[in-house]
Amino acid sequence: MSISKRFLDMARAELNALLDKASTWESALDPDEDLYHRYGLDELTDEQLEAELERRQRARAAAKAKVNDAAPRPTAASSGPRPRPARPSSGPLPRRSSPEDEVRRAYAALEVPVGSNFETVRKSYRALMRKYHPDHHSGSPEKQKTATELTQKLTDAYKLLERRLRR
């Protein structure tokens, strides 16, 4: 597996974690079943992923338009203070990641099932570090930079799980 493929897989894992967090918020806007729960991220191609993101954006826009259309509009004859127009927002407020989400992402980064013991985590970490170490990819600056970012992410994930599992 190439470094870029591994990096894309990690990005998909991050996206999956974000989608899991947002699923409760999004389920109120989108009545359709979430494709990621139905198929899983590994089974979606890039084209399907892009199509799903576009569909969600259209659903959000439609839900926002429905809410705006349902709001009562003041008439010239109505008395009382005028309501202030809604401030445009750039989307939902960012949520802070919970410790459970961080642990789940760490397991995903090290490609081990959630709840694995420390020995399994350590073996996976060492195997991935051997495979993606920047010294093995010194021929291309781009690959070396990607490998450096990837190994830093792997190291952070390993340190987090090490602290958690060795308590």
Q: How many domains does the chain have?
A: 2
Q: Are residues 76 and 110 in the same domain?
A: no
Which band of pLDDT confidence, cut at 50, 70 and 90, is reported for residue 55? confident
Q: Are residues 89 and 37 in the same domain?
A: yes
Q: What is the pLDDT of residues 118-132, one digit of tens each?
A: 999 999 999 999 998
Q: How far apart are CA 121 and CA 107, in angstroms?
A: 8
Which band of pLDDT confidence, cut at 50, 70 and 90, is reported for residue 139? confident
Q: Are residues 88 and 104 in the same domain?
A: no
Sequence-separated (6 or more) residues with CB below 8 Å from residue 164? 103
Query: How open is the CA angle 71-74-79, to the nearest 5 degrees?
Result: 135
Q: Are residues 26 and 86 in the same domain?
A: yes
Q: Are residues 79 and 105 in the same domain?
A: no
Higher confidence at residue 2 or residue 109? Answer: 109
Domain boundary pick from 45, 73, 95: 95
10: in domain? no
Q: Output the pLDDT for position 82.
A: 62
Q: How far apart are CA 54 and CA 79, in angstroms?
A: 42
How many other C-beta atoms are found inside a 10 Å radius of the C-beta of residue 166? 7
Flag the least confident range among 80-84, 130-134, 154-158.
80-84
Domain boundary pick from 95, 117, 148: 95
Mean pLDDT, residues 74-90 taken together:
58
Q: Are residues 68 and 42 in the same domain?
A: yes
Q: What's the domain range around 114?
A: 98-167
Q: Is the dihedral of CA 162, 155, 21, 39 positive or negative?
A: negative
Average pLDDT, the chain: 76
Q: Are residues 61 and 108 in the same domain?
A: no
Q: Which burial class, exposed, middle or buried, applies to 106 when counting CB atoms under 10 A from its CB (0-12, 13-18, 19+)?
A: buried
37 in Cβ contact with 23 (< 8 Å): yes
pTM above 0.85, yes or no: no
Largest pairwise CA distance in the chain = 75
Which residue in the block uniquely carries the two structure tokens 């099932």?
Answer: 113
Q: Output the pLDDT for position 75.
A: 57
Judge whether residue 27 has pLDDT over 50.
Answer: no
Q: Are residues 103 and 124 in the same domain?
A: yes
